[in-house]
Chains A and B, each alone.
Chain A
Amino acid sequence: MKLKSKNPRKKRLGLIFGAAYLVLLLLFAIFGPMIRNAQLSDVAKGVDPDIRVYNAVLDPVSSSPFAPAGGAAILGTDELRRDIVARLAEGARVSLTVGLSVQLIALLVGITVGVLGVLAPKWIRNPLMRFTDGMFAFPDILLAILIVSVAGLGMGPVIFALSVTAWPSIARLVASQVATLKDREYVVAAKAAGASNFYLVTRHILPQITGILLAYSMIDLAGTILAESTLSFLGIGVQEPQPSWGGMINGARLNMNSYPVLLIWPCAMLSMTIFALNFVGDGLRALADPRDRSA
């Protein structure tokens, strides 16, 4: 999943464009669903509550559920008269919520395990790192599907399943970083001056690796969003009527021939988000790691 560009200027450009896209996406996810509410008050007041839940936009002229783009619904509506823009915004909300929660949990668990895996006494350290290694034995998506089959369907289980698959690589990264940093002179000096392990880790070691962790987390976020969409596409992730990009792509197949817009937009949003996250992650890594910057 690494999109490498050797050219630092290109990287900076990727970082700027990627970050700009992500800011727009965030705004869209926060404010997008409000568009629907505004439309609802005009067009679909007083109709069947079910339709309200499904963000419907009613077109009084045509009996087809598919409203054309450019009307009350900017991109048109789908087979249940649901506004595509509003659904895309809800989908963005789902993807970002799942992605960010998973990364947060994975970072917490990963940092804890990674630090303990280097600094804890041997009888904790060794089993912990063996266990972490064991987690790599399976492809992430297979493990996620396995967990979902146990934990059930919906957003909560998806977050749980993807967190379980996401933490080991962070733990490994943190462990390797901590292992090199703990022998640096300034850390040894602080230790000699009587600093506790906790102090060393929180004041001297972790601040050193935040940049790398952030960059890594961005690239990993792309993988998480992809995995969430995959599960939702397969129908074992976020469940309808809650919109998700993966679910929208799956739903679009029925009317793909006559209404390819239903397919194009979620695909485009998803692909662009993944590209943007990769660019941003790559750019951040270049900033965080001076060796990478000069290369």
Chain B
Amino acid sequence: MQLARALSTRFLLGLLSLLFISFVTFLADEIQPGDAATVLAGEKASAETIERLRENLGLNRPWPIRYVEFVSKAVRGDFGTSYYGVKEPVGQLVGRNVTMTITIASCAILLASAIGIFLGTLAAVWQNKPPDQGILFVSTFGVTLPNFVLAPILAYFFALQWDVLPLTWSVDRVAPDYYYLILPVIVLAMRPTALLTRLTRASMVETLRQEFIRTAIAKGVPPFRMYVKHALRNAILPVITAIGTSFGFLLTGSFVVETYFLLPGLGSTTIDAIRKGDIPVVQACVMLTGAIFIVLNLFVDLILPILDPRIRESQV
């Protein structure tokens, strides 16, 4: 029962955060000079045309009413139309791009989990020996180097010097699509890989000190079985939480990678819209990104007690 209460509190907090984001994004429209009417009417429109359009769009009403309308429309995925180009409905435009973000984030988290858990376990097995020190040293770089430094460096070598991978996504792709996603996924996966490696190592080191490991060794459990079945299974829990939160960060933090490799995703769409001042698109992107992050974190909170009976009992 306590667990249900804790989870519903989280859920309410998440909802509150989303409302907060919606308010700030709504403010974006209020603060920026010009509004939908001035943009839609075009540059040559007279003051009267703009005023009439404003009247038609309901922009003359007081802001609390418009805010409520904004939220109720946003819930249904209606953010109006883009200010630029063919004035595509924003929901459609964002929906088209979100697949790319989900694809690269999913690939990156799979890659990061596989490599991170593997290297972290190796490092813990060879604690304080050269392999461990090597892995820790490299992971330090992985945590510290920003994406936008790694991306050009990898692109320079793989795309320009050795010419084995394409430099950026483009409309006329010659190779299969996944070929174009290799570099972005690697860049995106670097930071979570380093974090998961360090976390797996720390958790494994802690677990290997436990008594049941000593018992397992004393019983004569073969080393591989001892490390994987006895130690890793117990050490993996914080790593799973971290995988969940990292996935949230990847889904909502692919701005740099998408912009650099010109991928049509949620991040690059957001940045592009901010630079152009395409406010409906900015609003939709920011709200969606925030929602994804909150839902994912809720999901992690939900799945942990299922995985670990200890949390189920002691959940606050």
Contacts and interface: CB of A to CB of B under 8 A. Distances in A.
Interface of A: 1, 3, 134, 137-139, 141-142, 145-153, 226, 229-230, 233-236, 246, 249-250, 252-253, 256-257, 260, 263, 267, 270-271, 274-275, 278
Interface string B283-307: 0001001100110010000000000
A134 B32 CA distance: 26
A139 B251 CA distance: 11
A267 B153 contact: yes
A245 to B, nearest CB: 10
Contacts of A278: 144
Interface string B216-238: 00000000000000000000000
A234 B144 contact: no
B28 A150 contact: yes
Nearest to A266: B149
B24 A146 contact: yes
Contacts of A249: 148-149, 152
B13 interface: yes
Given A145-B271, A256-B152, A267-B152, 7 more contacts: A3-B144, A137-B13, A139-B253, A230-B146, A253-B152, A253-B260, A267-B149
A205 B282 CA distance: 44
B152 A263 contact: yes
Nearest to A226: B146
Contacts of B27: 150
Nearest to B290: A138
Contacts of B59: none
A143 to B, nearest CB: 9
29 contacts: A1-B144, A3-B140, A134-B16, A137-B17, A137-B293, A137-B294, A138-B290, A141-B253, A142-B289, A142-B293, A146-B24, A150-B25, A150-B31, A150-B32, A151-B31, A226-B146, A230-B146, A230-B147, A233-B256, A234-B259, A236-B275, A246-B148, A252-B152, A253-B155, A256-B155, A271-B144, A274-B144, A274-B146, A275-B144
Contact of A149 (B17, B259, B274): B274
Given A141-B253, A142-B290, A256-B156, A230 B140 contact: no
B145 interface: yes
Interface residues of B, number: 44
B249 A139 contact: yes
Nearest to A141: B253
Contacts of A235: 259, 271, 275
Contacts of B270: 145, 149
Contacts of A267: 149, 152-153
A152 B31 CA distance: 9
B293 A139 contact: yes
B183 to A, nearest CB: 13
Nearest to A268: B149
A141 B255 contact: yes
Contacts of B256: 230, 233-234
A128 to B, nearest CB: 16
Given A146-B21, A256-B156, A233 B148 contact: yes
Contacts of B71: none
A235 B297 CA distance: 29
B7 interface: no
B6 interface: no
A97 B235 CA distance: 43
B160 A146 contact: no
